[in-house]
Amino acid sequence: MKKEFKVSQADILLQKDIADQLSGLICGTKKYYIQTYGCQMNSHDSEKIAGIFEQCGFVKASDKTSADLIVFNTCCVREHAELRVFGNVGALRTQKEENHELIIGVCGCMMQQEDVAKKLYKRYPFVDLIFGTHEMYKLPEMLSNVINGQRVINLAKNDDDIAEGIPVIRNGSFSTNVNIMYGCNNFCSYCIVPYVRGRERSRSHKDIIDEIRQLSALGYTEITLLGQNVNSYRSPDAGESIDFPGLLKLINEIDGIERIRFLTSHPKDLSHRLIEAMATLDKVCKHIHLPVQSGSTRILDEMNRKYTREGYLALVDELKKNVPGIEITTDIIVGFPGETDEDFNDTLTLVEAVGYSAAYTFKYSKRKGTKAAVMQNQVSEEVKKQRLRRLNDCVVMTLKMLNEKYIGTRGVVLVEGCDDTRSGKMAFGKLSNFKTVYFPGDESLIGQYLVVSIDEVMNNSLKGTLVSK
Ligand code: 5AD
Ligand code: SF4
């Protein structure tokens, strides 16, 4: 039996009532500021938090110092993020002393770690509101309690928490994110995400399609589907058997949507059906983010990734053969416990063999409560640093060679922004395959799909000229 993880409509309405009451009280007289750390999932959560704040009558502040309500939406995937949050929250002490009405909140993944949340609660008595990743929809109630003088700490761990109909204040006007699932069941041995985001749970495909139809009506043309492991998406709707490729097919039919992206794909679950969907559905972008983490089969096994180096390379071959022009990006960890020079060398040779168009590289960071944190043979900081440097050099070298093939080609760019440079105003945006292209152009082009010819390659991007509007 597939399980529905939805919050009841009555609970959503109750929160809306509380928000309406607060809104009557606050009426745009107070400002909020949200500082976000971490991944796209967190950024999207912040858009929902902003939606709830505005529903409660707050308006957006242009900076932290002018805000009456400051919230830090935290990440805990790596240790340094945690240190930064403690520093930045601590730095608000003076602002709070000067303005006793100021509300300070800390939320997100880091606060879902009970010991860390309690440490923060104790160390910073001026923090009014702490909540984790599960009950964000109860924010109106939490906020109301804070306004009534309470200190609130909500560390609930409840997987039945998919809340539909929460207002969202989106950062962009043509490209945006849509959650399709939450949580992760994979328990990679280094990773804290399954502990703080809970079990895997998919949204109803009907709710997803409704949301994207509404976004299309508002003028959004590019959608990025978010989930920790989108390939294990399964619609919970009774009598339906819609998996991720099935969902892509439904979204591909929505008028007004031009580009569909998705994040993140676990290699162990990347099916032939998904590759076929990428090859045949015209709106699905020719890009896949496929974290490899390591090029050594032995380390992959220790990481509990459930694929081998050879299996990964075979997948990459299949993708390249079936989806012409595809670009692949990845995540890689160096210095996982027990990683030898030989294992690391396997990572370097894999990077050369695949030819990534971008790699997000990280030094292994010990996360309390994960299997890898208690493994023997932890790698020294010095060795991690050296390996990270060598890996980044290797990525850039392969990338430079691979970019050459773009010279003289043409592609469609969705323009995202515009920079003032020494050679004048340059517009920039992405090809379907996620390559960034710069070309002479101004703000008026933002949000448009334009044909650009490529004449030059830079380290991380391409440079071109506008062919047609
Ligand atoms: N140390 C270093 N990097 C990590 N990641 C996840 N957990 C850790 C950790 N403990 C990286 C992985 C993942 C990305 C989002 O963060 O590469 O894909
Ligand atoms: Fe973490 Fe692995 Fe889940 Fe990704 S798939 S969120 S790395 S446990």
pLDDT tens figures, 22-39: 999 999 999 999 999 999
Residue partners of 200: CB distance under 8 A and separation at least 6 = 181, 182, 183, 184, 185, 228, 229, 232
Q: Rounded CA gap, 74 and 85, in Å?
A: 7
What are the residues whose beta carbons fall under 8 Å from the beta carbon of 161, sequence distance 6 or more?
A: 5, 7, 134, 135, 137, 182, 198
Where would I find the H helices in 124-190?
139-147
SS (HEC) of 225-262: EECCCHHHCECCCCCCCCEHHHHHHHHHCCCCCCEEEE
Q: Please, what is the average pLDDT of the chain? A: 95
Q: Quote the tokens at residue 127.
A: 């923090």
pLDDT band at 469 (very low <50, low <70, confident <90, very high): low
184 lines ligand 2 (CB under 6 A): yes
Q: Which residue lies with its CA nearest to atom 9 of ligand 1?
A: 365
Q: Which of 75, 110, 184, 190 to mutate to test the pocket of ligand 1 (most atoms within 8 A of CB)?
A: 190
Query: What is the whole-number distance in angstroms between the Cα of residue 129 and the centre of ligand 2?
Result: 28
The pLDDT of residue 265: 95
Does the predicted model carry a pTM greater than 0.75? Answer: yes
Looking at this protein, which amino acid is placed at residue 161? Answer: D
For residues 144-150, average pLDDT: 97
All residues at 6 or more sequence positions from 22 whose CB lies less than 8 Å from its CB, including other chains: 56, 57, 140, 143, 144, 147
Ligand in nearest proximity to the CA of 232: 2
> Is residue 468 predicted with pLDDT exceeding 80?
no
Over residues 280-322, the pLDDT tens digits come to 999 999 999 999 999 999 999 999 999 999 999 999 999 999 9
Give the Å distance between the CA of 424 and the centre of ligand 1.
38
pLDDT tens sequence across 347-365: 999 999 999 999 999 999 9
pLDDT band with cut points at 50, 70 and 90 for residue 2: low
Among protein residues, the one with the nearest Cα to ligand 1's atom 13 is 331
Separation between Cα atoms, residue 457 and residue 405, nearest integer Å: 9
pLDDT tens digits, one per residue of 386-411: 999 999 999 999 998 899 999 999 99
Contact, 328 vs 318, CB < 8 A?
A: no
- The preferred substitution site among 40, 109, 191 for testing ligand 1, maximizing ligand atoms within 8 Å of CB, is 191
pLDDT for the residue numbered 434: 97
| Predicted confidence (pLDDT) at residue 238 exceeds the cutoff of 90 | no
Cβ of 367 less than 6 Å from ligand 1: yes
Mean pLDDT of 407-424: 94
CA of 206 to the centre of ligand 2 (A): 26
pLDDT at 195: 94
Within 10 A of 396 (CB to CB), how many other CB atoms are there?
Answer: 12
Which ligand neighbours the alpha carbon of 266 most closely? 2
In sequence order, what are the residues at sequence separation of 6 or more whose Cβ sits closer than 8 angstroms to the Cβ of residue 435? 327, 357, 406, 411, 461, 462
For residue 305, the tally of other CB atoms under 10 A from its CB is: 23
Give the total residue count for the chain.
469
For the chain, the 3-state helix, strand and coil shares in percent, each to the nearest 5, are 40, 25, 35
Is the minimum distance from the CB of 292 to ligand 2 under 6 angstroms?
no
- Does position 1 have pLDDT exceeding 60, yes or no? no
Give the confidence band of 83 by pLDDT, cuts at 50, 70, 90: confident
Q: Which of 421, 429, 425 shows the shortest CA–CA distance to 447? A: 429
The per-residue pLDDT for range 179-215, each reduced to its tens digit, is 999 999 999 999 999 999 999 999 999 999 999 999 9
| CB 153 less than 6 A from any atom of ligand 2 | no
What's the pLDDT at 458? 87
Residue closest via CA to ligand 1's atom 12 equals 331
